[in-house]
Structure 1
Amino acid sequence: MKVNTQSVNFTADRKLIDFIQKRMDKLDIFYDKIISSDVYLKIENTSDKENKVFEAKVSVPGDSFIVKKQCKSFEE
């Protein structure tokens, strides 16, 4: 599956991008008609420990799904 990764307010290292690609490839096990996915990684300027935002838009035939999660780390 094609995964487009964009990072906002920081530069993502190769290890993080490979981790995201590996996790997104696992979605093919559950649904094999996924066209592509766009992943946005953001770091918000807050004093909270949970300031990392992961947002994924998964495109399937006829529709798209958006998932957003805010945690302490992107791997979480």
Structure 2
Amino acid sequence: MKVNTQSVNFNADEKLISFIQQRMDKLDMFYDKVIKSDVFLKVENMSGKENKIFEAKVSVPGDSFVVKKQCKTFEEGVDMAVASLERQLKKRKEKLRSHL
């Protein structure tokens, strides 16, 4: 799956981008018709520790899923977002199966 990663207000290192690519590739196991995904990494200027925002938009035929997570690290946000997307994609796949 093609993952377009954009970082806002900072430069993401290669390690983080490859980590995101690996995690997002796992979504293909749950739903094989994923067209593409857009990932946005943002750092908020706040005094709190949870200032990292991970936002992902996954496009499938006829629909798209958006997940936004705010965490202490981007890795934690990626894991939480992928888990949420897994549930959504499984639900969509079951719904499509029930209509056949």
Deviation at 1:26? 0.2
Cross-structure match for 2:8? 8
For the pair shown, the structure with the greater C-alpha radius of gyration is 2
Cross-structure match for 1:59? 59
Per-residue CA deviation, residues 3-55 of structure 1 (Å, 9 max, x unaligned), is 00000010000000000000000000100000000000000000010000000
Match for 2:22: what amino acid? K
Structure holding more strand per residue: 1
Deviation at 1:68? 0.2
Cross-structure match for 2:42? 42
Cross-structure match for 2:31? 31
Q: 1-side partners of 2:63 and 2:31: how far apart?
A: 13
Which structure has the higher relative contact order (CA within 8 Å, separation 6+)?
Answer: 1
TM-score norm. by structure 2 comes to: 0.76
| Identity value in percent | 82
Match for 2:24: what amino acid? M
